[in-house]
Amino acid sequence: MTQTSQAESAAVDTAASVLTVVRDSGQAVFGASQPAKLPIGAIVASQATAQHQESTEVGASIGVWESSPGVFRRHLKNREFSHIISGWCIFTPDGGGPVELRAGDAVLFPANCEGVWDIRETLRKTYVLF
């Protein structure tokens, strides 16, 4: 190994012990689907997560989430950053107007943001809860 490749290898090993990574989120393998916890209407969305990881050092968790079409309430109290990988939906925060989210969009939910998810096409997103 050359000195450069040894240094690069050390940097990768150091990064791996410091970083929490979600890999290949578009191809993530999900666990068993569960019905939405707070459905609205007759069509109940099924949801699953993959690669869920928690970091106590930074007080956050990350992973990949997917939901089939349906309408349900957002019930998380955490702040959340999400990047939409595929699908589309409309999220309507309580007291606000509807926001359309599509593949390629990113969204930041403030703490205690509640509202209604209306998943129109199976939605897959990566998330960070903090």
Burial class from Cβ neighbours inside 10 Å (0-12, 13-18, 19+) for residue 114 reads middle
Tell me, what's the pLDDT at 79?
Answer: 97
| Residue 123 pLDDT > 90 | yes
Tell me, what's the pLDDT at 41?
Answer: 94
Lowest-confidence segment of 9-13, 117-121, 124-128 by average pLDDT:
9-13
pTM of the predicted model as reported, rounded to 2 decimal places: 0.82
| Residue 22 pLDDT > 70 | yes
Residue 19 pLDDT grade (very low, low, confident, very high; cuts 50, 70, 90): confident
Between the alpha carbon of residue 101 and those of residues 98, 112, 119, the distances in Å are 10, 19, 10
DSSP structure string for 57-93: TTTEEEEEEEE-SEEEEE---S-EEEEEEEEEEEEEE
Please provide the average confidence, as pLDDT, over all residues in the chain: 89
Q: 101 with 107: CB under 8 angstroms?
A: yes
| Of residues 119, 94, 129, 112, the one with CA closest to residue 36 | 119
